[in-house]
Structure 1
Amino acid sequence: MSPMLLLLAYGAALIVFSVAGGALTQRIAMTHTRTQLAMSLVSGLMLGIAFFHLLPHAVLTLGVEEGLSVVMSWLMLGLVVMLLLLRMLHFHQPDYPAEVLATCDHDHDHDQGVAHSSGSDVAPMVAPGVNWRGVLIGLTFHTFIDGVALGAALLSAPHGHQQQLIGFGVFLAILLHKPLDAMSITALMKASGTSAAAQMRANLVFALVCPLGALLFYFYATQLGVNGEAVIAAALAFSAGAFVCIALSDLLPEVQFHSHDRVKLTAVFLLGILIAYLMAHSTPEHTHAVATLGMLSGR
């Protein structure tokens, strides 16, 4: 299958999962524990994808001697840009609005002092001043960067090996993350009294951004010819920095503030890293990449 067909297939799946995630707030309530476990799993997977997939291929694209410092610079830029977006727009929060979360275990509610209620007077369990518009804008930037990462990952595949797992790994991390992001948007919109029709429109627009970012980057990079390799490497490293920032910003608050689930959250986080590691080391392309990097570094 060609990279373009893979991109279209991945894009369609991302749209379906994102729309479905946003629609869940109209049908079911996510339990607190399941939400935290899902976030921890995705955090570990994104962190593993960044270090085992994106960064090695970024360095390999440019070569160790010529490109290592460039790749590290783009890595830091991606991390800083995502951190600034998080600080300014507050679009990643440990919890969804209370009306979207089902009642937690009695012991947890007692220990944490969490009060659950129902009806229109439910207050969002997010930082003061956070509203759905800021979350929508921030997550739109975030998902566009995800799209760039997906396009760059598919373009970095060697000719004849377009189906290597770097593209699938990035796709999987995004696929599992998108429903949570979409749920954040629609949950906050629902808590603020926004109509179901407006929630549906915002959810659909958000679902389209990631595939659009992937397509735009794909067509842009393929028009650059030889110079496209440098752009692809920069995009991979930048995306790795963004993935690291998102992974740690999602995980650390949960492990720190939810001590009752610390073991489970940490175990699921490590499972996500292990999945990314096994995917990266299960293909002949990875062995070839490691050998190539070793020869380059030995010059």
Structure 2
Amino acid sequence: MIMLLWIVGFSILGSIGAVGCSVLLLVFPEGIRKVLVPYLVSYATGTLLGSAFLGMIPAGLERAPSHAFMATVLAGMVAFFVLEKLVIWRHCHDADCDVHGRAAPLILIGDAFHNFVDGVVIAAAFLTSIPLGVATSLAVIAHEVPQEVGDFAILLDSGYSRTKALLLNGLSSTSTLPGALFAYFWLAEMSQAVPYILAISAASFIYIATADLIPGLHRHVTPMASLRQLLLLLAGIASILFFHLGA
């Protein structure tokens, strides 16, 4: 029961935190948002990479054969590439993305699916250990914030009103909790599946960081912007490391 409360609490925090931070950011003028979002993306990139390489992969390798586990990570990355190509799952962070411009409703569907998977990721991490669960939840929240801000901007650009865009974005974020509950009751009965869920989760974090977030950071090429990105990326990694060292 205590483990379930951890999972439910952080799943709700992830949903509320991402949308809440996005709403706060949207209060700022567009010029300020354009400055803040790259900082958030840099930090989120660090938390994703830190969670995958310092948390999920080591934990999974302790519970599954290394070749099978790493093959699952690789297969997961290939699968996410295919899904993104099919526009089922898209994490573009600027309003000029041609996929977003053509099919804004698919963004909401993809976001709801992604948040459901985030719930599964959170539950699998907590079922492995509480520190891993907390660190993973932090990474989920960190990368959700710039994503939600980006998705909101895309919905506005597609003709949605601010109220409707916020409402639909908020609804899509609520799928995190069902995903977590589904994973808790399913994975609790099939503990041998947990390391492979961690492998797929690590693959998703690595894919999002390297395929979607880092290319956007490379658009800012000035020395100071690059230094800020590096420092915030390292700060994200350090945040994840802090939870694991404190375990």
- Pick one of 68, 71, 79 that aligns with 2:69: 71
Q: Secondary structure at the match of 2:63?
A: helix
- Pick one of 198, 210, 223 that aligns with 1:236: 198
* 2:168 is the counterpart of 1:181: no
**CA, structure 1 residues 238+2, in 2 after alignment: closer, same or farther (shift >3 Å)?**
same
Give the Cα separation in 1 of the matches to 2:229 and 2:108.
27
Deviation, structure 1 residue 85 = 2.6
Q: Secondary structure at the match of 1:31?
A: helix
Give the Cα separation in 2 of the matches to 1:217 and 1:82.
20
How many residue pairs are counted as aligned between the two chains?
241
Deviation, structure 1 residue 278 = 3.1
- For 1:43, the aligned partner's letter is T
Q: Give the equivalent residue in structure 2 for 1:290.
A: none
Deviation, structure 1 residue 8 = 1.8
Q: Aligned-residue CA RMSD in angstroms? A: 2.2
**CA, structure 1 residues 184+132, in 2 after alignment: closer, same or farther (shift >3 Å)?**
farther
**CA, structure 1 residues 179+259, in 2 after alignment: closer, same or farther (shift >3 Å)?**
same
Q: TM-score scaled to structure 1, two decimals?
A: 0.73
Give the Cα separation in 1 of the matches to 2:176 and 2:106.
18
- For 2:77, the aligned partner's letter is L
Q: Give the equivalent residue in structure 2 for 1:93.
A: 92
Q: Secondary structure at the match of 1:263?
A: helix
Q: Secondary structure at the match of 1:259?
A: coil
Unaligned runs of 5+ in 2: none
Deviation, structure 1 residue 24 = 4.5
Unaligned runs of 5+ in 1: 98-124, 158-163, 284-299
Greater C-alpha radius of gyration? 1
Deviation, structure 1 residue 266 = 1.9
Q: Give the equivalent residue in structure 2 for 1:152.
A: 124
Q: Give the equivalent residue in structure 2 for 1:297.
A: none
Give the Cα separation in 1 of the matches to 2:231 and 2:187.
38
Q: Give the equivalent residue in structure 2 for 1:278.
A: 242
The residue correspondences of 1:3-82 to structure 2 (distance < 5 A) are: 3-24=3-24, 27-29=27-29, 30-62=32-64, 67-82=65-80
Deviation, structure 1 residue 197 = 4.4
Deviation, structure 1 residue 68 = 1.0
Which range moves more in the overlay, 68-77 or 78-87? 78-87
- Pick one of 64, 81, 97 that aligns with 1:126: 97
Give the Cα separation in 2 of the matches to 1:255 and 1:193.
27
Give the Cα separation in 1 of the matches to 2:216 and 2:191.
38
Q: Give the equivalent residue in structure 2 for 1:115.
A: none
Q: TM-score scaled to structure 2, two decimals?
A: 0.88
- Pick one of 135, 157, 164 that aligns with 1:191: 157
Percent identity over the alignment is 24
Give the Cα separation in 1 of the matches to 2:98 and 2:159.
18
Q: Which aligned runs of 4 or more in structure 1 are off by greater than 4 angstroms?
A: none
